[in-house]
A and B are shown apart, each in its own frame.
Chain A
Amino acid sequence: MDAIVSWLTSLFPHMAAPIARLIVHLVYAAILSFVAPVVVVVAFTYMERKVIARIQDRVGPNRAGPLGLLQGFADAVKMLTKEDITPVGADRIVYNLAPGLAVVGTILVYAVLPVAPGVIGADLNIGILYVVAVGGFGMLAAVMAGWSSNNKYALLSAFRVVAQLIAYEIPMVIAIIMVVLAAGSMQMGQIIDAQNVPFLFTLPVAFFIFFVATIAEIGRSPFDLLEAESEIVAGFHVEYSGFKFALFFIGEYMHLFVGAGLGTTLFLGGWRGPGASEATILGVLLGFVYFLVKTVFLIFLMMWVRGTFPRIRIDHLLDFGWKFLVPVGLLALVAVALVLKLPFLSSSVLKWVGMLVANIVVVVVSLTAVSFAARRSRSVALRGVAGTER
């Protein structure tokens, strides 16, 4: 960013630095608001359909354009030309505000996503906290949409959305706190700088929690109770049609990409890789490629999960969040904090090993606890069936 600003000022000597900065900001904001949604939605709906189709032994889209590559554009045209329906009894103002809030709230997260060396909208010193905070808008949009649609299913879905999001936001924040603890900063740039060894290898528990929580926050299968077709029709946006529905859809895929992008930044070292640097254009491009490869890999993992696991029941979903991820996260947090203060772990290599060991211990302890609890509840259930309670 700074490099582009200085390049602009050298190109136009009369231009003042703040003006150049403003122009760069405007252009980048426009890219994030208009180019990114189109690219992300077209690319990843196509990828999703192909991947899921292959998992289910189908071919996937293959009619629109070569290999079905134009399917996304066909869908976009269709969305734009569909009639817009507002159901009777809907609260018009809230009903129309909700889709916009959903998509704008998601785009706002991109402001702190470092996509390449030096390319970040605003490297805020509270970076990762900003992400969590702005995430609240999505929840608000769901509640507004569900309430204003005047539809029982939409309202029920809105409740489910909130119950699910709040159950998985806490574990996600705990995972983030672990990263902040290891990096010593909330700033995205510094978190990437701290990953000489990606946190995936030193904080695997945090990565697991973050990954699961991200899937749940986006509301993808197996955590797609908010739009469980067989139970509540389509979710809080059941009454939306045409472009307003498209806005929710865009928001969902933008959220998918930014969720995976944050996972990349926090745990896979972001844009780091051999040859990536802020100094040259080639280095920046390389960094962007590394970022994309890692992010697409994470998205592929999410699609794989979607294609493999069945939807889980709401009580299981809430239990998994509150009674498994939260305790495990707190345990891992304390363990990592302990390791970082051990006096004999003086060098950074020893600290990495120590964190890894702490994580493994936490995994073993929590799995043992779970299997113990499962065995006990099973034996209780069996005794209940046999009617031989003592």
Chain B
Amino acid sequence: MLSDFTFVGILVLIAVLLPVVGLGLSWLIRPKKPNPVKQSTYECGIETIGDTWVQFRAQYYIYALVFVVFDIEAVFLLPWAVAYDQLPLYALTEAVIFVLILALALVYAWRKGALRWS
């Protein structure tokens, strides 16, 4: 009809029904007896101390940054891989240069300890 993506659209609409119907069904038959103890935060039975949103280590953020860079690299390499068959020999050298520059990025991050979990 529209395009290949029509099925994806239909699937989104139908798949959303699974949680909706399931939650509706369980809402009909499940017990509802809330009390404050039941609804308190579960931390192995120990009373919660302080705020939930405590400071986490910045290390996580560096990993995410490196990830973004490599994700974009992958996106550039995919069309290259698809067309590789029809490309002349220089496509190899160009891609190798591309990969090497990013390998350099990995080496840099590695050497600077950005990938070290300390």
CB–CB A338/B19 < 8 A: no
Q: Assuming the A-B contacts A21-B1, A84-B30, are A247 and B22 also in contact, with contact meaning beta carbons closer than 8 angstroms in the complex?
A: yes
Residues in B neighbouring A18, C-beta threshold 8 A: 1
In the A-B complex, the 3 residue pairs with the closest CB atoms:
A315-B117, A100-B19, A166-B67
Binary contact track B88-118/A, C-beta < 8 Å → 1, others 0: 0100100110010011001000100001110
CB–CB B4/A123 < 8 A: yes
Bound CA span A327–B109, Å? 13
Q: Closest chain A residue to B114 by CB distance?
A: A322
CB–CB B117/A104 < 8 A: no
Bound CA span A34–B17, Å? 9
Other than the known A33-B17, A170-B71, A327-B106, what 14 A-B pairs have Cβ atoms closer than 8 Å? A21-B1, A88-B36, A89-B52, A107-B18, A122-B8, A151-B41, A159-B60, A162-B64, A166-B64, A170-B70, A181-B84, A233-B43, A315-B117, A322-B63
Check: A192 CB closer than 8 A to any chain B CB.
no
Min distance, Cβ B89 to any Cβ of chain A, angstroms: 6
Residues in B neighbouring A315, C-beta threshold 8 A: 116-117
Q: Closest chain B residue to A130 by CB distance?
A: B8
Q: Assuming the A-B contacts A32-B11, A330-B103, are A186 and B110 also in contact, with contact meaning beta carbons closer than 8 angstroms in the complex?
A: no
Check: A65 CB closer than 8 A to any chain B CB.
no
Check: A340 CB closer than 8 A to any chain B CB.
yes
13 A-B residue pairings within 8 Å (CB atoms):
A22-B1, A80-B26, A82-B30, A85-B39, A104-B18, A150-B41, A169-B67, A180-B81, A181-B84, A185-B82, A186-B78, A242-B30, A243-B22
- How would you classify the secondary structure of chain B's contact residues: helix, strand, loop or mixed? helix
Size class of the contact patch on chain B: 35 or more
Min distance, Cβ A249 to any Cβ of chain B, angstroms: 12
For window 1-42 of chain A, which residues contact chain B by CB distance below 8 Å? 18, 21-22, 25-26, 28-30, 32-34, 37
Size class of the contact patch on chain A: 35 or more
Bound CA span A330–B8, Å? 32
CB–CB B92/A151 < 8 A: no
CB–CB A99/B19 < 8 A: yes
Bound CA span A293–B78, Å? 30
Bound CA span A162–B103, Å? 23
Q: Give the contacting residue for A29; candidates B7, B19, B25, B117; CB below 8 A.
A: B7
CB–CB B11/A121 < 8 A: yes
Chain A CB within 10 Å — which of B13, B15, B32, B95 has the most? B15
Check: A238 CB closer than 8 A to any chain B CB.
yes
Check: A326 CB closer than 8 A to any chain B CB.
yes
Q: Give the contacting residue for B8; candidates A121, A334, A338; CB below 8 A.
A: A121
Min distance, Cβ B83 to any Cβ of chain A, angstroms: 8
CB–CB A170/B99 < 8 A: no
Bound CA span A340–B83, Å? 13
CB–CB A184/B84 < 8 A: yes
Check: A124 CB closer than 8 A to any chain B CB.
yes
CB–CB A239/B42 < 8 A: yes
Q: Give the contacting residue for A80; candidates B16, B25, B39, B78; CB below 8 A.
A: B25
Q: Assuming the A-B contacts A29-B14, A33-B17, A81-B26, are A111 and B82 also in contact, with contact meaning beta carbons closer than 8 angstroms in the complex?
A: no
Residues in B neighbouring A243, C-beta threshold 8 A: 22-23, 25-26, 30
CB–CB A83/B32 < 8 A: yes
Min distance, Cβ B82 to any Cβ of chain A, angstroms: 6
CB–CB A85/B38 < 8 A: yes
Residues in A neighbouring B89, C-beta threshold 8 A: 341
Q: Closest chain B residue to A340 by CB distance?
A: B84
Binary contact track A116-130/B, C-beta < 8 Å → 1, others 0: 000001111100010
CB–CB A87/B106 < 8 A: no
Bound CA span A85–B38, Å? 8
CB–CB B22/A246 < 8 A: yes
Check: B47 CB closer than 8 A to any chain A CB.
no
Q: Closest chain B residue to A132 by CB distance?
A: B74
CB–CB B99/A334 < 8 A: yes
Q: Give the contacting residue for A323; candidates B17, B54, B115; CB below 8 A.
A: B115
CB–CB B11/A338 < 8 A: no
Residues in A neighbouring B77, C-beta threshold 8 A: 177, 333
Q: Assuming the A-B contacts A30-B14, A184-B84, are A155 and B63 also in contact, with contact meaning beta carbons closer than 8 angstroms in the complex?
A: no
Residues in A neighbouring B115, C-beta threshold 8 A: 318-319, 322-323
Bound CA span A152–B77, Å? 39
Residues in A neighbouring B96, C-beta threshold 8 A: 334, 337
Residues in B neighbouring A180, C-beta threshold 8 A: 78, 81-82
Bound CA span A238–B23, Å? 18
Min distance, Cβ B93 to any Cβ of chain A, angstroms: 10
